[in-house]
Amino acid sequence: MNQAGFPLLSLITWLPLLGGAVILSVRGDEATVATNARWTALWTSLIVFALSLLLWGEFDSSEAGFQFVEHLTWLPQFGVSYRMGVDGISVLFVLLSTALTPICVLASWESIKKNVREYMLAFLILETMMVGTFCALDFVVFYMFFEGVLIPMYLIIGIWGGPRRVYSALKFFLYTLAGSVLMLLALLAIWYFAGTTDITVLLHTQFPTNMQYWLFLAFLASFSVKVPMWPVHTWLPDAHVEAPTAGSVILAGVLLKMGAYGFLRFSVPMLPQASTYFAPLIFALSVIAVIYTSLVALAQTDMKKLIAYSSVAHMAIVTIGIFTFNAQGIDGALFQMLSHGIVASALFLCVGVIYDRMHTREIARYGGLVERMPAYAATFMLFTLASMGLPGTSGFIGEVLVIFGSLKINFWLSLLGGSGMILGCAYMLYLYRRVIFGRLTRADLQAILDLSPREVAVFAPLVLLTLWMGVYPASFTHFFETSVNAMVSQHQAALTGGATRLAARLPDQKVLP
């Protein structure tokens, strides 16, 4: 049943590649090619975004299952097929990906000068891979998209990045790949056990508890690097620092979400016993991450690194929320993911604005910008507040829901996980004060310009989204509420049902020999 009447998801997924092909076919001198590449990329990503709005409009949020399902046989002898579909959990991530891509194209409009064609091509390929990851309903297809993301991102950091780009790109690649290899093994084990890689089937397959533990650890290896969780987070600050602004935006906005999405899509529903068993480990790592990386953020002297570390702390809130297995926690985690996708992206764009002007991210090189850049200061302030989780902005809802959900587990989890509220306030305000407030003393800052119309166009949608999500979050939670409730009750049923089924099976086994 496909509401749109045509393969909408495949269109959203593959259209960017078509745009890429157009970019490649352009001939002419370098300036023409660059201009063409920019405009083609922008229009392609805007059309894709418009299509995903159609998805948003047609999506039936009262339905817990997958929608817009497409199916093509691909490798029937292995039980593998090309299957696409979205449910309440994934649909908003498709939108997040398609919304951020045009913003990235626009943000790179002037700052990327060399190899524009290849750069835009990389972003369009990246978009295909991201959307594909969230739409895939077959594990093999998912794995290919999930890994495919690495290649364009690796190139974006490695070619258009800063001075230490090669080290960072390699580190990024090796860390993520190392985890993914284990996921590949898990994938093979699952296929061997279930005979299919169809996610809709796997979601209702009961794996033996022992096998669940191994599968969970293999998934953990892959997803924890992507999230990233402490202590495998150190690739992130390096990658962010070296990546071009738009690369950071996608990295923080979408790529980090893939790990958490993986937990939600695979670990929790497929491996309920193992998830419950390992939840305390996740909680411990997440609480350490909140406190540890928030403190590290406080000590940073590089703006991008500071925000990168804050991302680790915010994603730790997400992992806490997911493993509470209750509606508030998971809703909070999902909301926090969306909110972080918007807010962290916006913060990286904010850094990009002054980096484009001054070519430094050193905090100490700034100060008193509010004098010359009032509009920028106001924008930056809004995202600073959203990052701190101030009520009325998107950041609050996710954080408070996770605090609510985690209190059902444990008081200290709630309090310590929530301590990001204090530390986040400290490092963000400290950053803001050093960059924006104070006296404008440096001569080279005297002539700094406020936001250009292009930059206003970049920030305006993000500002609106941040406020909208804060004031009327129900319009977003609405989308995933049904799916999350279904997941929560399935999880509880699996825990109790699994036990009874096991108990029911035991006597049989005794009789058998």
Partner 1 sequence: MIYAVAVLVPLFGSAVAGLLGRAIGDRAAQAVTILCMIVATICGETAFIQLVWGGAPTGTVRLAEWVSAGSFHVDWALRYDTLSAVMVAMVTFVATLIHIYSIGYMGHEHKPVARFFSYLSLFSFAMLMLVTANNLLQLFFGWEGVGLMSYLLIGYWYERPSACAAAIKAFVVNRIGDLFFAVGIAMVFFLFGSVSFSTIFAAVPQHLNDTYALFGTNYRALEVICILLFIGAMGKSAQIGLHVWLPDAMEGPTPVSALIHAATMVTAGVFLMARISPILEHAPVALGVITVIGASTALFAATIGCVQNDIKRVIAYSTCSQLGYMFIAAGVGAYQVSIFHLVTHAFFKALLFLSAGSVIHAMSDEQDMRRMGGLWKKIPLTYTMMWAGSLALAGIFPFAGYYSKDAILEAAFADGSPVAIYGFVCGVLAAFLTAFYSWRLLLMTFHGRSRADHHVLEHVHESPLVMTGPLIVLAVGALIAGFSLRGLFIGADWHAFWRNSVGVAPGNHILARMEEIPAWAALAPSVLALLGIALAYIMYVAVPTLPAGIAARFAPIYRFLLNKWYFDELYDAVLVRPFFALARLLWQVGDVTIIDGVPNSIAHIAEDSAEQAVKLQTGSIAVYAFSMLIGVVLLITIFLIFR
247 counts as binding partner 1 under rule CB under 8 A: no
Q: Which is nearer to partner 1, 28 or 374 (CB)?
A: 374
CA 386/CA 394 separation, integer angstroms: 6
Of 245, 324, 326, 379, the one binding partner 1 by CB under 8 A: 326
Report the distance separating Cα 121 and Cα 251, nearest Å. Answer: 17
**Is residue 438 near partner 1 by the rule CB under 8 A?**
yes
Taking the least distance from each CB to partner 1, the nearer of 249 and 401 is: 401
Q: What b/e readout covers 223-236, taking b as 16+ CB neighbours within 10 angstroms? A: bbbbbbbbebbebb
Under the criterion CB under 8 A, does residue 370 sit at the interface with partner 1? yes
Q: Is 111 in the site for partner 1 (CB under 8 A)?
A: no
Of 245, 275, 328, 394, the residue at the interface with partner 1 (CB under 8 A) is 328
Exactly one of 103, 125, 220, 407 binds partner 1 (CB under 8 A); which one? 407
Q: How far is the CB of 77 from partner 1 (least distance, A)?
A: 39
Cα separations in angstroms, 45 against 94, 126, 253, 263: 13, 11, 16, 28
How far apart CA 354 and CA 343 sit, in angstroms, is 17
Q: Which two tokens stand for residue 44?
A: 């392609």
Q: Which of 477, 479, 491, 494 binds partner 1 (CB under 8 A)?
A: 477
Closest approach of partner 1 to the CB of residue 328, in Å: 5
Report the run of H or E that residue 97 belongs to, with start and end: helix 88-107
Cα 262 to Cα 227: distance, rounded to the nearest angstrom:
9
Residue 364 found at the interface with partner 1 (CB under 8 A): no
Cis peptide leading into 16, omega within 30 of 0? no
Three-state SS at 409:
coil
Query: Does 289 contact partner 1 by CB under 8 A?
Result: no
Among 394, 473, 483, 487, binds partner 1 (CB under 8 A): 473
Least Å from the CB of residue 327 to partner 1: 2
> Which range touches partner 1 (CB under 8 A), out of 74-82, 119-127, 347-355, 397-405?
397-405
- Per CB under 8 A, does 164 bind partner 1? no
How many residues touch partner 1 (CB under 8 A)? Answer: 61
> Contact between 426 and partner 1 (CB under 8 A)?
yes
d(CA 35, CA 23): 10
SS3 428: helix
d(CA 509, CA 513): 7
Instruction: State in angstroms the smallest separation of the CB of 161 from partner 1.
Output: 18
- Say which residues have a Cβ less than 8 Å from residue 114's Cβ, sequence separation at least 6: 160
209 binds partner 1 (CB under 8 A): no
The one segment of 6-14, 62-70, 80-88, 416-424 that binds partner 1 by CB under 8 A: 416-424
Report the C-alpha gap between 48 and 12 in whole angstroms: 6
CB atoms within 10 A of CB 485: 15
Amino acid of residue 486:
A
Q: Which is nearer to partner 1, 161 or 368 (CB)?
A: 368
| Stretch binding partner 1 (CB under 8 A), from 44-52, 102-110, 348-356, 386-394 | 386-394
Which listed range, 12-20, 122-130, 418-426, 490-498, lies at the site for partner 1 (CB under 8 A)?
418-426
Of 33-41, 138-146, 404-412, 493-501: span binding partner 1 (CB under 8 A)? 404-412
* Residue with Cβ nearer partner 1 (438 or 498): 438
Closest approach of partner 1 to the CB of residue 418, in Å: 5
**Which of 282, 132, 137 is CA-nearest to residue 220?**
282
Token pair for residue 187?
């994938």
Q: Which residue, 72 or 422, has its beta carbon nearer to partner 1?
A: 422
Q: Which residues pair with 83 in a beta bridge?
A: 71
- Among 219-227, 343-351, 401-409, 498-506, which window interacts with partner 1 (CB under 8 A)? 401-409
Look up residue 415 and give its amino acid. L
Neighbours of 118 (CB within 10 A): 17
Binding mask 167-206 for partner 1 (x = CB under 8 A): ----x--xx-------------------------------
Q: Is 224 in the site for partner 1 (CB under 8 A)?
A: no
- Tell which residue, 313, 344, 388, 337, has the closest CA to residue 103: 344
- Token pair listed for 33: 């090619």
Of 63 and 371, nearer to partner 1 (C-beta) is 371
φ, ψ at 69 (rounded to 5°): -70, 135
By the rule CB under 8 A, 485 interacts with partner 1: yes
Looking at beta carbons only, is 39 or 468 nearer to partner 1? 468
Q: Among candidates 256, 234, 229, 84, which has minimal Cα distance to 153?
A: 256
Q: State in angstroms the smallest separation of the CB of 513 from partner 1.
A: 43
Task: Evaluate whether 225 touches 149 at the Cβ level (below 8 Å).
Answer: no
Instruction: Write the CB contacts of 262 (distance below 8 Å, at least 6 apart in sequence).
Output: 146, 219, 222, 223, 226
The token duo for 494 is 């699996």
**Residue ranges in contact with partner 1 by CB under 8 A:** 171, 174-175, 231, 233-234, 237, 292, 295-300, 326-328, 331-332, 335, 368, 370, 374, 385, 390-392, 396-397, 400-401, 403-404, 407-408, 411, 414-415, 418-419, 421-422, 425-426, 429-430, 433, 436-439, 471-474, 477-478, 481, 484-485, 488
